[in-house]
């Protein structure tokens, strides 16, 4: 019984920490969206920029961790199973994206290189768009596509380790939530 209480409070604490981190990422995304206008350097993928990515990632982390925290705290089976399902879907999506990136690495590189050139030509032709020019100046100071690709290739191991760590955390979260879910079912508390 004390192990399950420890599991419950550990799950609450970890999800609370993730909730705070998700809220911080969400807040940074909103701050970046309102303080500066980010333009995408890739004309085909205009919605992809740092502010939007942080905003969406913050929302996902905050919502999922809130479900886990509240489900564990209230010992609510419905919230715990929802937490489990969302974590499982997130893990599958992350693994699918990682596999797609590995399988289509050369095609993605060619697409980005072509789209960057198109974006640069568009920026040159439309000098009115200062934010796009500023973004291109920043890219030229950190190097061009080849340097960015080389940096990514050098950090491929670190990226892989990061993905594995995230997946381990998600699997642990799923195990904890399912253990708590099964305990609540056996104790006959039912759905609250």
Q: What pLDDT does 3 receive? A: 81
Q: Are 135 and 41 in contact (CB under 8 A)?
A: yes
Q: Are 123 and 136 in contact (CB under 8 A)?
A: yes
Burial class (CB in 10 A: 0-12, 13-18, 19+), 181: buried
CA distances (Å), origin 128, targets 38, 124, 133:
15, 9, 9
Q: Which residue has the tokens 């890739």?
A: 42
Q: What pLDDT does 86 receive? A: 94
Q: What pLDDT does 164 receive? A: 86
How many of the other CB atoms lie within 10 Å of CB of 68?
Answer: 29
Q: What pLDDT does 44 receive? A: 58
Q: Are 33 and 55 in contact (CB under 8 A)?
A: yes
Ordered mean pLDDT values, 10 residues apiece, the chain (192 residues): 84 93 91 70 62 88 94 92 94 87 78 72 59 56 65 75 87 92 77 50
Q: Angle at the Cα of 91 (from 56 to 66), degrees rounded to 5? A: 55
Question: Which residues lie closer than 8 Å to 162 by C-beta, 6 or more apart?
Answer: none
Q: Are 77 and 181 in contact (CB under 8 A)?
A: yes
pLDDT in tens, 22-55: 999 999 988 888 876 655 555 556 656 777 888 9
Question: Which residues lie closer than 8 Å to 14 by C-beta, 6 or more apart?
Answer: 68, 173
Smallest Cα–Cα separation from 105: which of 54, 168, 52, 159? 159
Q: Which two tokens stand for residue 136?
A: 């291109």
Terminal CA-to-CA distance of the chain, rounded, Å?
20
Q: Are 6 and 42 in contact (CB under 8 A)?
A: no
DSSP-derived 3-state class of residue 144:
coil
């Amino acid at each position: 019984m004390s192990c399950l209480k420890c599991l419950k409070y550990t799950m609450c604490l970890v999800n609370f920490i993730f909730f705070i981190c998700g809220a911080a990422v969400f807040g940074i995304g909103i701050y970046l969206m309102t303080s500066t206008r980010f333009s995408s350097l890739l004309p085909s993928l205009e919605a992809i920029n740092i502010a939007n990515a942080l905003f969406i990632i913050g929302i996902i982390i905050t919502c999922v961790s809130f479900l886990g925290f509240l489900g564990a705290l209230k010992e609510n089976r419905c919230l715990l199973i929802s937490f489990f399902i969302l974590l499982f879907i997130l893990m599958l999506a992350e693994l699918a994206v990682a596999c797609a990136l590995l399988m289509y690495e050369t095609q993605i590189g060619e697409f980005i290189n072509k789209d960057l050139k198109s974006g640069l030509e568009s920026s040159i032709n439309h000098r009115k768009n200062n934010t796009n020019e500023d973004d291109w100046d920043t890219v030229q100071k950190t190097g061009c596509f080849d340097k960015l690709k080389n940096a990514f290739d050098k950090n491929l191991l670190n990226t892989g380790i990061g993905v594995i760590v995230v997946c381990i955390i998600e699997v642990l979260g799923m195990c904890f939530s399912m253990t708590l879910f099964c305990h609540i079912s056996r104790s006959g508390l039912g759905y609250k």
